[in-house]
Structure 1
């Protein structure tokens, strides 16, 4: 079997899909994207196609090594994301060719189902409380929310109290037996992260995610040592080498993104690396159905997998949502907060190619918002 073509599709709301075809008719799908830079990643996939066309798709690790290291300049979000989506598609092909789900190729399932969490929005306690209740009614037993909006280096007591009030409203809505995770989104300073974690600790969040931007990863040791709240990070780390210092610093949850951090191949290694530090795995995935399926395959084969993010209904998904590009959207159906083990070959999903091609005709040009503080200075989004 040889690779004959590599295609990319810019599909709403902000995603990029990749289809790899072979001379035996077996095709694989992946999701290579940097949100807000989808066109750039599509160009990187097109360049990497020079390595892929005519190659044996079963030689996943060799292709991964060549794509990652053969161009001399390595790493970074664009190249790593392009490789990630290609890697997902190669695993999809191999699973389909052998008639088994990808997790069987990773050593087999270590669990029968994977716990999921959904996002909630809202700027006021009443809104987030209602949003959390709606997620519980939809079958989730865990939710995630942003801590707040624009954050200055040091914040007022009213802003800090506002964060606590919103989380408290969610805790009241879901009760003590369900979970709320809090995403700081890299918006706060190390000093403010320590203050917020102290104030939020009595509400027992499942974890606090990305308290600081990745450039400040050296601060994780102090942040982790200063709080009992489990700290999570990893969505903007792109390799096992990027994860090494934050794992050593004491984080509790590793969050590699399978569309950014080298795909299934590298994220399976990151999961094992995290396990050696006693760190849980919770892959980052505010993306589409292909990325979610890839995450679930790694979750199913990783002993330390904790919970899986899904973007279904997230505020970014305007014009299309996670299930819109699937032939069978029930594949991700929740039962008591869990998705059952994906048992079909490859990634375990069937992509609706007709819907993908129609959506790609519309395309998108999604960009991250640019925020500013009251004084006009740039604010982290």
Structure 2
């Protein structure tokens, strides 16, 4: 084994993958039949391999390739040096108008933060393997043995308009009755103790009715609604009184810090966000507002905040200003979900159960198989490093699926036009 001062990253491998994704509806359209991710592997001169999962769109793949020379030959321990190299070596790119209405994972302006997060994840996996410690211990130690996640409901169609594979087992989810049935099945399968609905899709009155139906069906269960900034300020204020008695928090109903700040004057609910506070600069702007302020809960995502350590820093700042903290998610597999779990275990002030799309995904790249939920929570792995190893055959299969699916950049609006040619994706729409 190489001495620690001689330990170096000798090779980076990036494997883009595509996995089946249901026809889930959101503010800007509908999920395409396949979701894109990529698996980053960093191999060292003593044969260890650290892995991380990140975005798989064309822009992210180009950013990772640009950064190859920044990481090869580097010490896995030099996380600060890596941050500086990537910060100055990876350039922002312009995002399309459609992408700006999604979470910042699609924003070209976040390229450096996204690359830093991917490299850091694989480096922490390497460090944990070398030291014989789980990633949560490398981050300072676990304060909880398991991490709670929330049921993540979506309005959805029964099947994709183009049928590349058989319909999923969930069926249609449009009416309040169907949304309640979706929640009931998800709770029975995974044991989730809280429920979130992705809104911003239908008339707000319909979405409020769905939340009321959930509250009636699951009394006492914390509920969340996320219109993805697709409601105007006026609409958000109009529906606040009805939601005050239904929700745990009100997530990103309306765009901009100014809009959320005005809404805060008209609701008793905490306002949560992963859209108007997505960087430390935006957090600084948010806490400068007088009074209650525009945001009471920040939903981090280590993939675009700059990594696990950056999210720990975010959580400490939130604690200083009395803000709640939890985590946003996108379509992801085990390497991402387990990284979130290590991180959440090492954040003492995790205020709410984290988001996860994982129940909607059926395929996997982890040799350990599908991640198991017990009473809505994931047990924190205690094996060295991340605790995820790659199933090489599964990785090859999903890479071949990437090559054949024809999708290179996510575009939910273009996909929705196949169902409704008049759809524009304009936001806020209600």
Q: 2:183 aligns with which of 125, 132, 150?
A: 132
Q: Is the 8 A contact 2:326 2:353 kept in 1?
A: yes
Shift in alpha-carbon separation, 1:101–1:64, aligned structure 2, 3 A? same
What TM-score comes out, normalization by structure 1 length? 0.86
Measured on the aligned residues, the alpha-carbon RMSD in Å equals 2.4
Q: 2:250 aligns with which of 200, 208, 221?
A: 208
347, 356, 359: which one aligns with 1:310: 356
Distance change in 2, residues 1:40/1:374 (3 Å): closer
Partner SS, residue 24 of structure 1: coil
CA 1:212–1:344: 2 relative to 1, 3 Å: farther
What SS class does the counterpart of residue 282 from structure 1 fall into?
strand
- Residues 60-107 of structure 1, C-alpha deviations (whole Å, 9 max, x = no match): 122112211345769822332222212211111111111111111222
- Distance apart, 1:298 and its partner CA: 1.5
In 2, Cα distance between equivalents of 1:136 and 1:164: 21
Matched with 1:155 is none
| Match of residue 310 from structure 2 | 266
Aligned to 2:32: none
1:117, distance to aligned residue in structure 2 (A) = 1.0
The 3-state SS of whatever aligns with 1:313 is helix
2:367 alignment partner in structure 1:
327
Shift of 1:53: 0.8
- Cα contact 1:296–1:308 (8 A) shared by 2: no
Q: Give the corresponding residue for 1:16.
A: 38
Determine which of 1, 12, 27 is the counterpart of 1:6: 12
1:189 aligns with 2:232: yes
Equivalent residue, structure 1, for 2:59 = 40
Q: Give 2:399's match in structure 1, choosing from 349, 355, 360.
A: 360
Say if 1:308 and 1:353 are closer, same or farther in 2 by CA, change over 3 A: farther
Conserved? CA contact 1:275–1:304, under 8 Å? yes
**Do the aligned partners of residues 149 and 44 (structure 1) sit closer, same or farther apart at CA in structure 2, a change above 3 Å counting?**
same
1:88 aligns with one of 99, 121, 124: 121
Change in CA separation of 1:238 and 1:67 when aligned onto 2, cut-off 3 Å: farther
* Alpha-carbon distance, 1:56 to partner: 0.6
Following superposition of structure 1 onto structure 2, how do residues 1-381 of structure 1 map, counting pairs within 5 Å?
1-13=7-19, 14-33=36-55, 38-70=57-89, 76-121=109-154, 122-138=173-189, 139-149=191-201, 159-176=203-220, 178-203=221-246, 205-213=247-255, 216-234=256-274, 237-248=277-288, 249-286=293-330, 287-305=332-350, 306-314=352-360, 317=361, 320-321=362-363, 324-329=364-369, 332-363=371-402, 364=405, 365=407, 367-370=410-413, 377-380=424-427
Distance (whole Å) between structure 2 residues aligned to residue 201 and residue 110 of structure 1: 32
Contact kept, 8 Å, 1:171 with 1:180, in 2: the verdict is: yes
1:312-337 CA deviation, whole Å, 9 max, x = no partner? 233xx4xx44xx1112236x322222
Distance 2:13 2:347 in 1: 30
Aligned residues: 359
Consecutive unaligned residues in structure 1, runs of 5 or more: 151-158
TM-score (norm 2): 0.77
Structure 2 residues without counterparts, runs of 5 or longer: 1-6, 20-35, 94-107, 155-172
Q: Secondary structure at the match of 2:282?
A: helix
Summarize deviations over 1:215-267 as a string: whole Å, max 9, x none. Answer: x1233222223211121112575432232223553522211211111111211
